[in-house]
């Protein structure tokens, strides 16, 4: 019985890591696309997860909501914060300072 519990916990950990990597890739693509559309420079070529919590989707199911931060520049001399919000594996919105872009 103990081996089964350990195996299930290990499987859950592997799933979480793979799901987190997939979410990070989606956030990265959304941030890059938003920066291209707004004609600003996507800095450091990376996103960083800033929060993780449970939220409900449109169907009322409990799923993970992740927030990612990234930096962009309008002139090349400044650094501004951007944000990507994912619900499950889907991008909900992208925020570039005061400019909101929704897929």
Q: Write the CB contacts of 103 (distance below 8 Å, at least 6 apart in sequence).
A: 30, 91, 93, 94
The 10s digit of each residue's pLDDT in 19-30 is: 999 999 999 999
pTM of the shown model = 0.86
- What integer pLDDT is reported at residue 77 of this predicted model? 81
Scanning the chain, the segments in alpha helix (DSSP H) are 2-38
- Which residue matches tokens 């929704």? 102
The 10s digit of each residue's pLDDT in 44-73 is: 989 999 999 999 988 999 999 999 999 998
Q: Is 83 a residue whose pLDDT tops 70?
A: yes
């Amino acid at each position: 019985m103990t081996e089964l519990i350990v195996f299930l916990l290990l499987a859950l950990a592997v799933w979480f890591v793979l799901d987190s990597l997939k979410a990070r890739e989606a956030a990265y693509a959304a941030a890059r696309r938003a920066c291209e559309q707004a004609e600003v420079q996507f800095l450091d070529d990376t996103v960083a997860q800033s929060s993780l919590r449970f939220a409900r989707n449109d169907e009322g199911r409990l799923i993970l909501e992740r927030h990612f931060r990234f930096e962009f520049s309008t002139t090349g001399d400044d650094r501004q914060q951007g944000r990507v919000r994912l619900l499950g594996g889907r991008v909900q919105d992208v925020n570039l300072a005061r400019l909101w872009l929704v897929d």
